[in-house]
Amino acid sequence: MARNSFPVEVLTPEGKVFEDEVEMVSTRTTTGSIGVLANHAPLMAILEPTELRLYKSDSDVVRFAQGEGYLQVVDNSALVLVEEAIAPDDIDRSAFEARLKEAREAVERAEEGSEERARAQREVKRYEAFLEVTSG
């Protein structure tokens, strides 16, 4: 069954990566997975690194590996602001594996409870999520 579609824009600091009508946006916020359909109530949320799925239809799905960011839904249109949105085919596994290793080492090195450690942990989470997207 065809659902109503609504406009979605995905912006990153390096430019717009997606702008089209979709039936559903599927992503993850700090509180859990979320699927946004047309006519959703106004929403503002923090996004976690995960796989961002944009359902143009049941069979036509555009996927991105997303970094941290924000989701805003207002007036039946969604705005996804993420630090990174990489098409799964463009992910260089070995590069991200190296960075993941580096980030894990940084967590070990940093002092307990420091900002440095908190930021390194965020980095670990991000690269784990990116690698998961390519293996999935």
Q: Which residues bind other proteins (CB under 8 A)?
A: 11-16, 29-31, 34, 41-46, 68, 70, 72, 74, 79, 81, 83-84, 111, 114-116, 119-120, 123
Minimum distance from residue 11 beta carbon to other proteins (Å): 5
> DSSP label at 83?
S
Tokens of 2: 């065809």
Nearest CA to 30 out of 45, 52, 11 is that of 45
C-beta of 8: minimal distance to other proteins in Å? Answer: 13
Q: How far is the CB of 60 from other proteins (least distance, A)?
A: 25
| Beta-strand runs (E) in the chain | 6-12, 15-22, 24-29, 32-37, 43-47, 50-55, 61-66, 69-74, 77-82, 85-86
Select 61 or 79, whichever has its Cβ closest to other proteins: 79
- SS3 of 84-113: the string is CEECHHHCCHHHHHHHHHHHHHHHHHCCCC
Q: Report in angstroms how near the CB of residue 59 gets to other proteins at its nearest.
A: 29
User: With respect to other proteins, which residue has the nearer C-beta, 43 or 98?
Assistant: 43
The residue among 33 and 57 lying less far from other proteins, judged by its C-beta, is 33
**Contact present, 80 and 11 (Cβ < 8 Å):** yes
